[in-house]
Structure 1
Amino acid sequence: MTLVPLLESKEFSEADHHALALGEKAYGMVLNTWAAIGNSPGLFAAYLPFLRQLNGPGELDVRIKDLAAVRVAVLNHCRYTTSHRCKSAQANGVTADELTALARGDFARFTARERIALELAGEMTATIPVTTYDQSATGVSAPILEVARTSFGPGELVELTMGISLWNALSRFHRVMAFELDMPVPPAGVDELL
Protein backbone atom coordinates (compact mmCIF):
# COMPACT_ATOMS: atom_id res chain seq x y z
CA MET A 1 0.00 0.00 0.00
CA THR A 2 1.37 3.38 -0.95
CA LEU A 3 2.08 6.01 1.67
CA VAL A 4 -0.33 8.49 0.05
CA PRO A 5 -3.36 8.06 -2.21
CA LEU A 6 -2.61 7.83 -5.93
CA LEU A 7 -4.70 10.39 -7.78
CA GLU A 8 -6.44 9.85 -11.07
CA SER A 9 -6.10 12.48 -13.81
CA LYS A 10 -9.37 14.18 -12.95
CA GLU A 11 -8.26 14.64 -9.32
CA PHE A 12 -5.16 16.71 -10.15
CA SER A 13 -5.14 20.43 -9.41
CA GLU A 14 -5.89 22.80 -12.29
CA ALA A 15 -2.32 24.09 -11.84
CA ASP A 16 -1.00 20.66 -12.84
CA HIS A 17 -3.27 19.94 -15.82
CA HIS A 18 -0.94 21.19 -18.57
CA ALA A 19 2.08 19.21 -17.34
CA LEU A 20 -0.12 16.17 -16.74
CA ALA A 21 -1.47 16.31 -20.30
CA LEU A 22 2.11 16.37 -21.63
CA GLY A 23 3.07 13.44 -19.44
CA GLU A 24 0.02 11.39 -20.38
CA LYS A 25 0.67 12.09 -24.06
CA ALA A 26 4.24 10.80 -23.71
CA TYR A 27 3.47 7.73 -21.58
CA GLY A 28 -0.19 6.99 -22.25
CA MET A 29 -0.97 6.88 -18.53
CA VAL A 30 -0.46 8.59 -15.20
CA LEU A 31 2.67 7.14 -13.64
CA ASN A 32 2.45 6.25 -9.96
CA THR A 33 5.02 8.84 -8.94
CA TRP A 34 2.96 11.55 -10.67
CA ALA A 35 -0.22 10.28 -9.01
CA ALA A 36 1.45 10.72 -5.62
CA ILE A 37 2.97 14.13 -6.42
CA GLY A 38 -0.50 15.30 -7.46
CA ASN A 39 -1.45 15.36 -3.78
CA SER A 40 0.51 18.62 -3.51
CA PRO A 41 -1.23 21.03 -5.93
CA GLY A 42 1.14 22.79 -8.31
CA LEU A 43 4.15 20.60 -7.52
CA PHE A 44 3.76 18.39 -10.58
CA ALA A 45 3.69 21.46 -12.84
CA ALA A 46 7.22 22.27 -11.63
CA TYR A 47 8.45 18.67 -11.38
CA LEU A 48 7.82 17.33 -14.87
CA PRO A 49 9.41 20.17 -16.90
CA PHE A 50 12.48 20.12 -14.65
CA LEU A 51 12.83 16.35 -14.93
CA ARG A 52 12.47 16.45 -18.71
CA GLN A 53 15.03 19.26 -19.02
CA LEU A 54 17.56 17.48 -16.83
CA ASN A 55 17.16 14.01 -18.36
CA GLY A 56 16.82 15.09 -21.96
CA PRO A 57 19.43 16.26 -24.45
CA GLY A 58 21.78 18.87 -23.04
CA GLU A 59 25.50 19.34 -22.49
CA LEU A 60 25.99 15.80 -21.16
CA ASP A 61 25.44 12.70 -23.29
CA VAL A 62 22.07 11.11 -22.46
CA ARG A 63 23.69 7.68 -22.20
CA ILE A 64 25.88 8.91 -19.33
CA LYS A 65 22.82 10.42 -17.64
CA ASP A 66 20.98 7.10 -17.95
CA LEU A 67 23.89 5.02 -16.67
CA ALA A 68 24.39 7.28 -13.64
CA ALA A 69 20.66 7.23 -12.85
CA VAL A 70 20.52 3.43 -12.96
CA ARG A 71 23.58 3.22 -10.70
CA VAL A 72 21.96 5.54 -8.15
CA ALA A 73 18.67 3.61 -8.25
CA VAL A 74 20.45 0.28 -7.73
CA LEU A 75 22.57 1.61 -4.86
CA ASN A 76 19.39 2.89 -3.21
CA HIS A 77 17.73 -0.52 -3.77
CA CYS A 78 14.72 1.13 -5.37
CA ARG A 79 13.00 -1.27 -7.74
CA TYR A 80 10.54 1.38 -8.99
CA THR A 81 13.25 3.87 -9.98
CA THR A 82 15.43 1.10 -11.37
CA SER A 83 12.62 -0.13 -13.61
CA HIS A 84 12.08 3.39 -14.99
CA ARG A 85 15.75 4.18 -15.49
CA CYS A 86 16.51 0.78 -17.08
CA LYS A 87 13.65 1.31 -19.54
CA SER A 88 15.04 4.73 -20.45
CA ALA A 89 18.59 3.42 -20.73
CA GLN A 90 17.53 0.53 -22.95
CA ALA A 91 15.53 2.91 -25.15
CA ASN A 92 18.77 4.86 -25.57
CA GLY A 93 20.83 1.82 -26.58
CA VAL A 94 22.16 0.47 -23.28
CA THR A 95 22.02 -3.34 -23.29
CA ALA A 96 20.73 -5.64 -20.55
CA ASP A 97 24.27 -7.02 -20.18
CA GLU A 98 25.63 -3.50 -19.65
CA LEU A 99 22.93 -2.80 -17.07
CA THR A 100 23.74 -6.02 -15.22
CA ALA A 101 27.46 -5.18 -15.20
CA LEU A 102 26.67 -1.67 -13.95
CA ALA A 103 24.46 -3.06 -11.16
CA ARG A 104 27.28 -5.39 -10.10
CA GLY A 105 29.77 -2.52 -10.03
CA ASP A 106 31.75 -3.93 -12.97
CA PHE A 107 32.54 -0.86 -15.05
CA ALA A 108 35.29 -2.35 -17.28
CA ARG A 109 33.13 -2.37 -20.44
CA PHE A 110 32.26 1.32 -20.17
CA THR A 111 34.15 4.29 -21.62
CA ALA A 112 36.48 6.33 -19.42
CA ARG A 113 33.92 9.13 -19.09
CA GLU A 114 31.15 6.65 -18.27
CA ARG A 115 33.32 5.03 -15.58
CA ILE A 116 34.06 8.42 -14.03
CA ALA A 117 30.35 9.28 -13.98
CA LEU A 118 29.54 5.90 -12.40
CA GLU A 119 32.24 6.34 -9.73
CA LEU A 120 30.95 9.83 -8.97
CA ALA A 121 27.39 8.48 -8.76
CA GLY A 122 28.58 5.84 -6.32
CA GLU A 123 30.34 8.32 -4.08
CA MET A 124 27.49 10.84 -4.17
CA THR A 125 25.04 8.07 -3.28
CA ALA A 126 26.89 5.91 -0.76
CA THR A 127 29.74 8.06 0.59
CA ILE A 128 28.16 11.46 1.20
CA PRO A 129 25.63 10.14 3.77
CA VAL A 130 28.42 8.69 5.94
CA THR A 131 31.06 11.41 5.50
CA THR A 132 31.08 14.29 7.95
CA TYR A 133 31.87 17.82 6.85
CA ASP A 134 35.12 17.67 8.84
CA GLN A 135 36.14 14.56 6.88
CA SER A 136 35.35 16.14 3.51
CA ALA A 137 33.53 19.37 2.71
CA THR A 138 32.14 17.86 -0.50
CA GLY A 139 31.64 14.32 0.77
CA VAL A 140 33.32 13.05 -2.40
CA SER A 141 36.98 12.02 -2.64
CA ALA A 142 39.37 14.59 -4.09
CA PRO A 143 40.69 12.20 -6.79
CA ILE A 144 37.18 11.54 -8.13
CA LEU A 145 36.36 15.26 -8.12
CA GLU A 146 39.58 16.11 -9.93
CA VAL A 147 39.15 13.49 -12.64
CA ALA A 148 35.52 14.57 -13.08
CA ARG A 149 36.61 18.21 -13.36
CA THR A 150 39.17 17.38 -16.05
CA SER A 151 36.90 14.97 -17.94
CA PHE A 152 33.69 17.00 -18.16
CA GLY A 153 32.93 20.62 -18.99
CA PRO A 154 31.13 22.87 -16.49
CA GLY A 155 27.70 22.37 -18.08
CA GLU A 156 28.22 18.61 -18.17
CA LEU A 157 29.25 18.57 -14.50
CA VAL A 158 26.18 20.54 -13.50
CA GLU A 159 23.91 18.13 -15.38
CA LEU A 160 25.75 15.08 -14.04
CA THR A 161 25.81 16.10 -10.38
CA MET A 162 22.27 17.50 -10.50
CA GLY A 163 21.07 14.28 -12.14
CA ILE A 164 22.80 12.11 -9.54
CA SER A 165 21.34 14.27 -6.78
CA LEU A 166 17.85 14.20 -8.28
CA TRP A 167 17.85 10.41 -8.71
CA ASN A 168 19.03 10.00 -5.14
CA ALA A 169 16.09 12.09 -3.97
CA LEU A 170 13.59 10.42 -6.28
CA SER A 171 14.70 6.86 -5.56
CA ARG A 172 14.32 7.53 -1.84
CA PHE A 173 10.92 9.16 -2.45
CA HIS A 174 9.83 6.21 -4.60
CA ARG A 175 10.95 3.66 -2.01
CA VAL A 176 9.20 5.27 0.92
CA MET A 177 6.04 5.70 -1.15
CA ALA A 178 6.07 1.94 -1.87
CA PHE A 179 4.90 2.24 -5.47
CA GLU A 180 3.96 -0.80 -7.53
CA LEU A 181 5.87 -0.99 -10.81
CA ASP A 182 4.27 0.80 -13.75
CA MET A 183 7.16 0.09 -16.13
CA PRO A 184 8.71 -3.27 -17.09
CA VAL A 185 10.65 -5.23 -14.47
CA PRO A 186 14.37 -4.43 -14.65
CA PRO A 187 16.57 -6.99 -16.44
CA ALA A 188 16.93 -10.13 -14.29
CA GLY A 189 20.62 -9.53 -13.56
CA VAL A 190 19.76 -6.09 -12.21
CA ASP A 191 16.56 -7.04 -10.40
CA GLU A 192 18.25 -9.77 -8.38
CA LEU A 193 20.61 -7.19 -6.85
CA LEU A 194 17.86 -4.93 -5.54
Structure 2
Amino acid sequence: MAFVHLLDIDDLPEGPRRVAESGQEQYGQLLNTWRSLFHRPEIFESYLPFLRSVAGPGAVDQEIKDLSALLVAWLNGCRYTVSHRWTGALRGGADPDRLLDVVRGRWDRFDPPLRCALELAREVTSSPPVVAPSRQAGLLSGTVREDVSTHFTEPQIVELTMSISMWNALSRFHRLMQFELDMPAPPGPVDRELLQGKDL
Protein backbone atom coordinates (compact mmCIF):
# COMPACT_ATOMS: atom_id res chain seq x y z
CA MET A 1 0.00 0.00 0.00
CA ALA A 2 1.35 3.42 -0.97
CA PHE A 3 2.69 5.64 1.81
CA VAL A 4 0.36 8.47 0.71
CA HIS A 5 -3.08 8.45 -0.86
CA LEU A 6 -2.83 8.63 -4.66
CA LEU A 7 -4.85 11.52 -6.03
CA ASP A 8 -6.63 11.83 -9.38
CA ILE A 9 -6.32 14.34 -12.16
CA ASP A 10 -9.54 16.06 -11.05
CA ASP A 11 -7.79 17.02 -7.81
CA LEU A 12 -5.41 19.33 -9.70
CA PRO A 13 -5.75 23.04 -10.51
CA GLU A 14 -5.73 24.05 -14.17
CA GLY A 15 -1.97 24.46 -14.89
CA PRO A 16 -0.80 21.18 -13.34
CA ARG A 17 -3.86 19.43 -14.80
CA ARG A 18 -2.73 20.36 -18.32
CA VAL A 19 0.70 18.84 -17.60
CA ALA A 20 -0.95 15.69 -16.23
CA GLU A 21 -3.23 15.40 -19.25
CA SER A 22 -0.22 15.70 -21.55
CA GLY A 23 1.58 12.95 -19.61
CA GLN A 24 -1.51 10.76 -19.60
CA GLU A 25 -1.83 11.17 -23.36
CA GLN A 26 1.81 10.21 -23.86
CA TYR A 27 1.85 7.20 -21.48
CA GLY A 28 -1.78 6.11 -21.78
CA GLN A 29 -2.24 6.32 -18.00
CA LEU A 30 -1.49 8.33 -14.88
CA LEU A 31 1.60 6.96 -13.19
CA ASN A 32 1.63 6.45 -9.42
CA THR A 33 4.62 8.78 -9.00
CA TRP A 34 2.60 11.59 -10.56
CA ARG A 35 -0.48 10.80 -8.50
CA SER A 36 1.56 11.10 -5.30
CA LEU A 37 3.04 14.41 -6.51
CA PHE A 38 -0.49 15.74 -7.11
CA HIS A 39 -0.46 16.48 -3.38
CA ARG A 40 1.99 19.28 -4.30
CA PRO A 41 0.68 20.51 -7.68
CA GLU A 42 3.44 23.12 -8.04
CA ILE A 43 6.08 20.37 -7.73
CA PHE A 44 4.29 18.14 -10.22
CA GLU A 45 3.88 20.98 -12.73
CA SER A 46 7.66 21.39 -12.97
CA TYR A 47 8.53 17.72 -12.39
CA LEU A 48 7.31 16.23 -15.64
CA PRO A 49 8.93 18.80 -17.96
CA PHE A 50 12.16 18.52 -15.96
CA LEU A 51 12.10 14.72 -16.17
CA ARG A 52 11.58 14.87 -19.93
CA SER A 53 14.46 17.33 -20.34
CA VAL A 54 16.85 15.07 -18.41
CA ALA A 55 15.69 11.60 -19.48
CA GLY A 56 14.62 12.41 -23.03
CA PRO A 57 16.68 13.13 -26.15
CA GLY A 58 19.73 15.28 -25.54
CA ALA A 59 23.49 15.42 -25.94
CA VAL A 60 24.03 11.86 -24.62
CA ASP A 61 23.07 8.80 -26.66
CA GLN A 62 19.62 7.68 -25.50
CA GLU A 63 20.69 4.06 -25.00
CA ILE A 64 23.44 5.18 -22.62
CA LYS A 65 20.95 7.15 -20.54
CA ASP A 66 18.36 4.34 -20.59
CA LEU A 67 20.80 1.62 -19.56
CA SER A 68 22.55 3.67 -16.89
CA ALA A 69 19.11 4.55 -15.45
CA LEU A 70 18.22 0.85 -15.34
CA LEU A 71 21.46 0.10 -13.50
CA VAL A 72 20.75 2.86 -10.95
CA ALA A 73 17.27 1.44 -10.31
CA TRP A 74 18.73 -2.05 -9.92
CA LEU A 75 21.48 -0.92 -7.54
CA ASN A 76 18.85 0.82 -5.42
CA GLY A 77 16.80 -2.39 -5.31
CA CYS A 78 13.69 -0.54 -6.49
CA ARG A 79 11.23 -2.85 -8.24
CA TYR A 80 8.96 0.02 -9.31
CA THR A 81 11.81 1.98 -10.93
CA VAL A 82 13.29 -1.15 -12.53
CA SER A 83 9.89 -1.93 -14.06
CA HIS A 84 9.71 1.59 -15.52
CA ARG A 85 13.30 1.68 -16.79
CA TRP A 86 13.07 -1.85 -18.24
CA THR A 87 9.81 -1.04 -20.01
CA GLY A 88 11.14 2.32 -21.22
CA ALA A 89 14.31 0.76 -22.60
CA LEU A 90 12.31 -1.92 -24.44
CA ARG A 91 10.08 0.77 -25.94
CA GLY A 92 13.24 2.50 -27.11
CA GLY A 93 14.29 -0.64 -28.97
CA ALA A 94 16.67 -2.22 -26.44
CA ASP A 95 17.46 -5.91 -26.70
CA PRO A 96 16.17 -7.74 -23.55
CA ASP A 97 19.41 -9.74 -23.33
CA ARG A 98 21.34 -6.47 -23.28
CA LEU A 99 19.21 -5.24 -20.38
CA LEU A 100 19.89 -8.46 -18.51
CA ASP A 101 23.62 -7.99 -19.15
CA VAL A 102 23.40 -4.52 -17.55
CA VAL A 103 21.94 -5.76 -14.26
CA ARG A 104 24.19 -8.83 -14.21
CA GLY A 105 27.33 -6.73 -14.67
CA ARG A 106 28.24 -8.46 -17.93
CA TRP A 107 29.55 -5.38 -19.66
CA ASP A 108 32.57 -6.75 -21.52
CA ARG A 109 30.78 -6.75 -24.91
CA PHE A 110 29.56 -3.16 -24.54
CA ASP A 111 31.40 -0.35 -26.28
CA PRO A 112 33.73 1.82 -24.15
CA PRO A 113 31.38 4.84 -23.75
CA LEU A 114 28.55 2.64 -22.47
CA ARG A 115 30.84 0.71 -20.11
CA CYS A 116 32.19 4.03 -18.85
CA ALA A 117 28.67 5.39 -18.25
CA LEU A 118 27.71 2.25 -16.33
CA GLU A 119 30.86 2.51 -14.17
CA LEU A 120 29.95 6.15 -13.53
CA ALA A 121 26.40 5.14 -12.56
CA ARG A 122 27.71 2.42 -10.25
CA GLU A 123 30.12 4.74 -8.44
CA VAL A 124 27.68 7.65 -8.15
CA THR A 125 25.04 5.27 -6.77
CA SER A 126 27.23 3.22 -4.44
CA SER A 127 29.94 5.62 -3.20
CA PRO A 128 28.09 8.40 -1.29
CA PRO A 129 27.11 6.34 1.77
CA VAL A 130 30.52 4.71 2.18
CA VAL A 131 33.21 7.02 0.77
CA ALA A 132 34.16 9.97 2.95
CA PRO A 133 34.74 13.31 1.16
CA SER A 134 38.21 13.45 2.71
CA ARG A 135 39.06 10.23 0.84
CA GLN A 136 37.40 11.03 -2.47
CA ALA A 137 35.95 14.52 -2.77
CA GLY A 138 34.35 13.99 -6.19
CA LEU A 139 32.99 10.47 -5.48
CA LEU A 140 34.76 8.95 -8.48
CA SER A 141 37.87 6.84 -8.59
CA GLY A 142 40.62 8.33 -10.71
CA THR A 143 40.15 5.76 -13.47
CA VAL A 144 36.43 6.43 -13.88
CA ARG A 145 36.96 10.19 -13.79
CA GLU A 146 39.58 9.93 -16.55
CA ASP A 147 37.41 7.62 -18.65
CA VAL A 148 34.38 9.90 -18.36
CA SER A 149 36.47 12.88 -19.47
CA THR A 150 37.80 10.83 -22.40
CA HIS A 151 34.44 9.56 -23.69
CA PHE A 152 32.14 12.50 -22.99
CA THR A 153 32.16 16.25 -23.55
CA GLU A 154 31.48 18.58 -20.62
CA PRO A 155 27.82 19.14 -21.63
CA GLN A 156 27.42 15.36 -21.90
CA ILE A 157 29.02 14.86 -18.48
CA VAL A 158 26.53 17.31 -16.96
CA GLU A 159 23.57 15.63 -18.68
CA LEU A 160 24.66 12.09 -17.82
CA THR A 161 25.44 12.80 -14.18
CA MET A 162 22.15 14.69 -13.80
CA SER A 163 20.31 11.68 -15.26
CA ILE A 164 22.11 9.27 -12.93
CA SER A 165 21.50 11.52 -9.94
CA MET A 166 17.83 11.99 -10.80
CA TRP A 167 17.22 8.24 -11.07
CA ASN A 168 18.94 7.75 -7.72
CA ALA A 169 16.57 10.26 -6.15
CA LEU A 170 13.51 8.77 -7.84
CA SER A 171 14.47 5.19 -6.96
CA ARG A 172 14.68 6.16 -3.30
CA PHE A 173 11.45 8.15 -3.48
CA HIS A 174 9.69 5.19 -5.11
CA ARG A 175 10.94 2.72 -2.51
CA LEU A 176 9.78 4.94 0.32
CA MET A 177 6.37 5.47 -1.28
CA GLN A 178 5.87 1.71 -1.84
CA PHE A 179 3.98 2.11 -5.08
CA GLU A 180 2.32 -0.90 -6.67
CA LEU A 181 3.57 -1.54 -10.19
CA ASP A 182 1.80 0.44 -12.90
CA MET A 183 4.00 -0.95 -15.70
CA PRO A 184 4.90 -4.58 -16.48
CA ALA A 185 7.03 -6.38 -13.93
CA PRO A 186 10.65 -7.04 -14.88
CA PRO A 187 11.35 -10.52 -16.32
CA GLY A 188 10.98 -13.44 -13.91
CA PRO A 189 14.55 -13.95 -12.65
CA VAL A 190 15.16 -10.22 -12.27
CA ASP A 191 11.85 -9.69 -10.50
CA ARG A 192 12.43 -12.63 -8.14
CA GLU A 193 15.78 -11.19 -7.07
CA LEU A 194 14.20 -7.81 -6.39
CA LEU A 195 11.36 -9.37 -4.40
CA GLN A 196 13.55 -11.78 -2.43
CA GLY A 197 16.31 -9.31 -1.75
CA LYS A 198 19.59 -9.36 -3.58
CA ASP A 199 23.13 -8.44 -2.69
CA LEU A 200 23.50 -4.81 -3.75
Counterpart of 2:73 in structure 1 is 73
Alpha-carbon separation, structure 2, partners of 1:107 and 1:13: 46
Counterpart of 2:47 in structure 1 is 47
Across the aligned residues of Structure 1 and Structure 2, the Cα RMSD in angstroms comes to: 1.1
3-state SS of 2:181 partner: coil
**Contact 1:7–1:36, Cα closer than 8 Å, also in 2:** yes
Deviation, structure 1 residue 156:
1.1
Counterpart of 1:172 in structure 2 is 172
Matched, 1:117 2:117: yes
Deviation, structure 1 residue 35:
0.2
TM-score by length of 1: 0.96
Aligned-pair identity in percent equals: 47
Count, aligned residues:
194
Name the aligned partner's letter for residue 28 of structure 1: G
Alpha-carbon separation, structure 1, partners of 2:7 and 2:20: 12
Counterpart of 1:31 in structure 2 is 31
Alpha-carbon separation, structure 2, partners of 1:100 and 1:3: 30
Matches within 5 A, 1:107-186: 107-186=107-186
Deviation, structure 1 residue 111:
1.2
**Contact 1:100–1:187, Cα closer than 8 Å, also in 2:** no
**Contact 1:74–1:193, Cα closer than 8 Å, also in 2:** no
Counterpart of 1:91 in structure 2 is 91
Counterpart of 2:187 in structure 1 is 187
Name the aligned partner's letter for residue 11 of structure 2: E
Q: Structure 2: any 5+ residue segments left out of the alignment?
A: 195-200
Deviation, structure 1 residue 143:
1.1
TM-score by length of 2: 0.94
Deviation, structure 1 residue 169:
0.1
3-state SS of 2:185 partner: coil
Deviation, structure 1 residue 15:
3.5
Alpha-carbon separation, structure 2, partners of 1:12 and 1:107: 44
Alpha-carbon separation, structure 2, partners of 1:28 and 1:91: 14
3-state SS of 2:87 partner: helix
Q: Deviations over 1:107-139 (max 9, x none)?
A: 122111110000100000011221111011111
Name the aligned partner's letter for residue 153 of structure 2: G
Alpha-carbon separation, structure 2, partners of 1:188 and 1:155: 37
Alpha-carbon separation, structure 2, partners of 1:107 and 1:187: 19
Alpha-carbon separation, structure 1, partners of 2:94 and 2:109: 12
**Contact 1:78–1:175, Cα closer than 8 Å, also in 2:** yes
Deviation, structure 1 residue 150:
1.0
3-state SS of 2:36 partner: helix
**Contact 1:99–1:190, Cα closer than 8 Å, also in 2:** no
Q: Deviations over 1:20-46 (max 9, x none)?
A: 111011012110000001111211110
Alpha-carbon separation, structure 2, partners of 1:61 and 1:100: 19
Deviation, structure 1 residue 192:
3.1
